[in-house]
Structure 1
């Protein structure tokens, strides 16, 4: 907080301490903390004072809201449930919020589905519950149910653009005359439709045209989508990205001790990372086919820490590392493993798959000396094309220009070469194109490094009954195929004149 806001916040807290029953002071202080980006402080405030409002349904709801924003998921659910017990109005909203926590925070899709269904039992046409239920079924690989519930959303909210966009994810267009294409074209070209929705419609149109081989039309839609998307965020700053690279090279400039696999260890984390759209989801699914390995998906523990570090500015990492004692890293590792246990249960080997975690490997290794790392790589043109065809957030602003994507890949390749020197054999690189062509040949050394034997079940990954929360959700529900290798040739006539391609580590 800036000094003036901090003084205002402290004054509110003093008044609240003197009159803890005054809910309006609690709400004002919590809201001020959130305005300053400190969700954790807002949640702590509410948890400190909620005992004074045990019979107030709205206060219980707000406590759940702030706990959810701070990542305190069990506490959030407990207070949402207390609000329901107190007879809060619009309980369908509360059940939907609980479902989102189970789905996105605790990675428990069965509990999420139950919560959404309870919301729909109360209010059958409640669109947020229908939409989130469709998301759950899509993550579970159930196209029929996902399409059904996206269609139900459209029935109750025919102007809800994202329902059409998400329906395109589970729909295979056979020709450019597909009715869904016509509807999305209408949404994309209607000026009164918000720009954010028109951007999503353009990406969806690109996907559907790619489905039916209309590559020129697909490229035009993807170009428009990226041009519009670029206007919603600052341009990618290559110099700043390289400055971060140099900072990591300075702060982690010595080889870190190599971990040995301990068969008796309670938990063995395996971090899967690399460039977005480079095959990390497929690799995690295949590893998860092994009887000893549990799939964690995109766990948010270290990314949340990284956000807090980066919020401190360009010197944030240096200052953070300078303040940490060895015992602090030990505690960080324990907190992470407790976080994993809360979501995955009592597991031994497990994967944590976040592509952008490649920037955190040194930090993770300090907290978890036993950690192993796998970085996925792919032909740069195929990788760049797949990124260009995906709407990514403002933290990945490079995705809006094809040339920027290739430059980002080169920066990340430089980072990978550095981590290879620092981490040695604790880091392995898996090439997507080689993986789909010769899966056992690529996976056996990976498993051996983890102290595990090869299992044929790794090739049955597409039959797994698990949830997948990435853009690759439908690709990994199919047996291995090689059609994505060399896909860039379908668009060779439309690609900009390119500089030298990034060199693979």
Structure 2
């Protein structure tokens, strides 16, 4: 049946890419790794051509943020922003365990889960357009934004996201992974918000992205070198934030959470200044809607089924390893002096 379904080269591109991803999953489930990878690669090539991701632009943006958002930048804005502590941001790479963390925290009596909210990127890009008529210049615009405007931006986030709050719990989660690009923006508009960095082994995380056909966005994920470079840029920026804003980000290493869930959950809740609650360990019984690719996984107790899924495909992953560079060997730490 799999052979009979091989995509016809004359089929429409969208139909072909959907079929390639479906065949990749089917061969993967059958442990036939060579045809699985061939179909994943073919589907990714089609989607990459459609989206035209420019890795150099992400790297340049991270370079600019590291140069701009220094210790002095944050110190000079210590009393800026909206002081409301309600939001909890879970960010990092897609497919890194952010949905699991949100599901665990949403079982706490003080924390509400919502979804991946678009508001932080919208506000940052809006600032760039308002200041320079170019959303991409938000980094530069942020350096010129007065304290009262930073407070207005924080208040705007709270106002825009209020519609997502369905309970009277005092804290709520925004789990848009790509908010790592806006970590500095979050720090100055909502200085009392909490930031959690969900991090997973780079090969598992990146290959999981490569196998995933997203409904929209995540253009970086459709090439092994691109997703590896994106992961490397993410680690590079978060290492910088750790250096200039020590203690402001709590990192959850996915494999540590799988190995010792209660200890990791207790540490996370302590960092959030919340007491441990047993309900958090029964997260898989929570019936709340989950709208991400991990929706099925979080309905099951913690398990290690997703660990090492890259290993049968290692012979084809050299472009990914090369793009990751020193990040791969340093994991779960960041490479020393990595900027």
Q: Same fold (TM over 0.5)?
A: yes
Residue 252, structure 1, aligned to residue 73, structure 2: no
Residue 471, structure 1, aligned to residue 289, structure 2: no
Kept in 1: contact 2:128–2:141 (CA 8 A): no
Tell which deviates more after alignment, 489-498 or 348-357: 489-498
Report the number of matched residues: 317
Structure 2 counterpart of 1:496, from 308, 311, 318: 318
Q: Give the match for residue 194 of structure 1.
A: 12
Residue 480, structure 1, aligned to residue 302, structure 2: yes
Q: State the Cα RMSD in Å.
A: 2.6
What runs of 5+ residues in structure 1 fail to find an aligned partner?
1-176, 260-264
Alignment CA distance shift 1:320-1:444 (3 Å): same
Kept in 1: contact 2:84–2:190 (CA 8 A): no
Aligned pairs for 1:99-178 (under 5 A) are: 177=1
Q: Give the match for residue 374 of structure 1.
A: 196
Q: Distance in 1 between matches of 2:136 and 2:31?
A: 48
Kept in 1: contact 2:115–2:176 (CA 8 A): yes
Q: Distance in 2 between matches of 1:276 and 1:207?
A: 19
Q: Distance in 2 between matches of 1:208 and 1:310?
A: 44
Query: Which structure has the bigger radius of gyration?
Result: 1
CA displacement, residues 52-76 of structure 1 (integer Å, 9 cap, x when unaligned): xxxxxxxxxxxxxxxxxxxxxxxxx
Secondary structure of residue in 2 paired with 1:493: helix
Q: Give the match for residue 105 of structure 2.
A: 287
Q: Give the match for residue 164 of structure 2.
A: 343
Q: Give the match for residue 451 of structure 1.
A: 273
- Per-residue deviation at 1:294? 0.4
- Per-residue deviation at 1:298? 0.5
- Per-residue deviation at 1:496? 3.2
Q: Distance in 2 between matches of 1:422 and 1:475?
A: 35
- Per-residue deviation at 1:434? 1.1
Q: Distance in 1 between matches of 2:134 and 2:59?
A: 15
Structure 1 counterpart of 2:137, from 309, 312, 316: 316
Q: Give the match for residue 223 of structure 1.
A: 41
Kept in 1: contact 2:128–2:138 (CA 8 A): yes
Q: Distance in 1 between matches of 2:121 and 2:68?
A: 18
- Per-residue deviation at 1:430? 0.8
Q: Distance in 1 between matches of 2:146 and 2:135?
A: 21
Q: Give the match for residue 143 of structure 1.
A: none
Alignment CA distance shift 1:246-1:493 (3 Å): closer
- Per-residue deviation at 1:287? 1.3
Q: Distance in 1 between matches of 2:318 and 2:188?
A: 42
Aligned pairs for 1:89-104 (under 5 A) are: none
TM-score by length of 1: 0.58
Alignment CA distance shift 1:254-1:395 (3 Å): farther
- Per-residue deviation at 1:296? 1.8
CA displacement, residues 116-168 of structure 1 (integer Å, 9 cap, x when unaligned): xxxxxxxxxxxxxxxxxxxxxxxxxxxxxxxxxxxxxxxxxxxxxxxxxxxxx
What runs of 5+ residues in structure 2 fail to find an aligned partner?
335-339
Tell which deviates more after alignment, 197-206 or 303-312: 303-312
Kept in 1: contact 2:106–2:113 (CA 8 A): yes
Q: Which has the higher contact order (CA 8 A, sep 6+)?
A: 2
Alignment CA distance shift 1:274-1:199 (3 Å): same
Alignment CA distance shift 1:469-1:314 (3 Å): closer
Q: Distance in 2 between matches of 1:397 and 1:445?
A: 34
Alignment CA distance shift 1:229-1:266 (3 Å): closer
Secondary structure of residue in 1 paired with 2:245: helix
- Per-residue deviation at 1:450? 1.0
CA displacement, residues 361-387 of structure 1 (integer Å, 9 cap, x when unaligned): 111111111111111111111111101
Residue 360, structure 1, aligned to residue 186, structure 2: no
Kept in 2: contact 1:267–1:337 (CA 8 A): no
Secondary structure of residue in 1 paired with 2:158: helix
TM-score by length of 2: 0.85
Q: Distance in 2 between matches of 1:475 and 1:491?
A: 22
